[in-house]
Amino acid sequence: MNDRQLFESYQRGLKRERKIVLTWQLTILIAFFTIWEAASRLYWIDPLLFSSPSKVIHLLAVRIGNGSLITHLQITLFETIIGFIIGTIGGVIIATALWSSARFAKVMDPYLVVFNAMPKVALGPILIVALGPGYLSIIAMGFIISVIVTTLVVFSAFNEVDPNYEKVLRSFGATRWQCFREAIFPAAMPAMISTLKVNVGLSWVGVIVGEYLVSKQGLGYLIIYGFQVFDFTLVMASLVIIAILAAIMYKLVEKLERWLIKNRNI
């Protein structure tokens, strides 16, 4: 075989591998829904509790058709995205403040530890009392659950930047703020991007729990409502929607990550 043929057979190998993986992924998906459907129809599981894919799809079709799903979806998505964005940006800002003063960081240390260790959802009732039983509390929940982790991860990333970059800048007479802008912040970029991915998941947790507690609208509300009126098809349908939305958001963040890293050329 010549070089070209070797390369082509390598490419064919890659393609085949990709096909095998995809086939298995689809098999698992189809098997899951088939077994669920079958188990429900044959009464292996209680169809009242666990519903079935056909009922879920039917419900989704009806709800999308009459527009009663889209509002809930929009509200939850809006709250999640806002919570995610201000949680991430807030975390970076707090980390910057901590970096700017070593004394401030030392003073804040025990509070950060306590706040990080604390189950944030336990603050739900306080938030509702403080911010009212509306979307503000829910966004606050999405925010609060991601902001501390972001702060800690980004702050430690700031501290791990090779001090020699700062040395180079200091030899040019750079101020501390210039060092931050030119070296610390861009060098910590990969860490910041990786917190984005974590925060996607966390803000979903915050928002759904928030909706459990207070709201009259949203996917979290649909889950709780379905549970209370014993409409488990509604619960399952909401879960499916959430899974799809969260996955899309995660993929978008991944795209953003790749774009950012490509433009930094690292």
Binding-site ranges for other proteins (CB under 8 A): 162, 164-165, 167-174, 178, 182-183, 186-187, 189, 264-266
Q: Which is nearer to other proteins, 58 or 167 (CB)?
A: 167
Q: Quick one: 170 or 197, whose CB is closer to other proteins?
A: 170
Does residue 249 contact residue 200 with C-beta atoms inside 8 Å? Answer: yes
| Token pair for 238 | 């909401």
What is the nearest approach in angstroms of other proteins to the Cβ of residue 93? 21
* In the complex, minimum distance from the CB of residue 130 to other proteins, in angstroms, rounded to a whole number: 41
Q: Which lies closer to other proteins via its Cβ, residue 81 or residue 189?
A: 189
Of 43 and 172, the one with the shorter C-beta distance to other proteins is 172
Calpha distance 202→142 (Å, rounded)? 7
HSE-CB for 187 with a 13 A CA cutoff? 18
Closer to other proteins by CB, 17 or 109: give it: 109
Task: Report, in Å, the least distance between residue 152 CB and other proteins.
Answer: 24
Q: CB-based contacts of 145: which residues, under 8 Å, 6+ apart?
A: 83, 87, 120, 121, 202, 203, 205, 206
To the nearest whole angstrom, how small is the minimum distance from the Cβ of residue 173 to other proteins?
6
CA dist 250 → 146, 224, 244, 253, 255 (Å): 15, 25, 10, 5, 9
- Residue 170 CB, nearest distance to other proteins (Å)? 5
Write a three-state SS string for 239-258.
HHHHHHHHHHHHHHHHHHHH
